[in-house]
Amino acid sequence: MNVKLRNIGPKSAAWLRQVGLRSREDLLAIGAAEAFVKVRRAGFKPSLNLLYALEGALLDCHWQDVSEARRSELAGVVEAGLAALPPPRGRPVAAPVHVTHHDEGALPGPALFDDERDAASDD
What pLDDT digit, counting tens, does each position of 12-68 carry?
999 999 999 999 999 999 999 999 999 999 999 999 999 999 999 999 999 999 999
Write a three-state SS string for 72-98: HHHHHHHHHHHHHCCCCCCCCCCCCCC
- In order of 54, 66, 116, the CA distances from 12 in angstroms are 9, 18, 50
pLDDT, the chain, mean: 80
- CA–CA separation, 33 and 41 (whole Å): 12
CATH class as words, domain 1-123: mainly alpha
Does the pTM of the predicted model rise above 0.85?
no
Helix (H) or strand (E) holding 18: helix 10-18
pLDDT of residue 116: 45
% residues pLDDT > 70 (the chain): 66
Give just the sign of the alpha carbon dihedral 17, 20, 26, 31.
negative
Name every residue whose Cβ is closer than 8 Å to that of residue 92 and which is 6 or more positions away in sequence: 42, 43, 44
- Residue 112 in this model has a pLDDT that exceeds 50: no
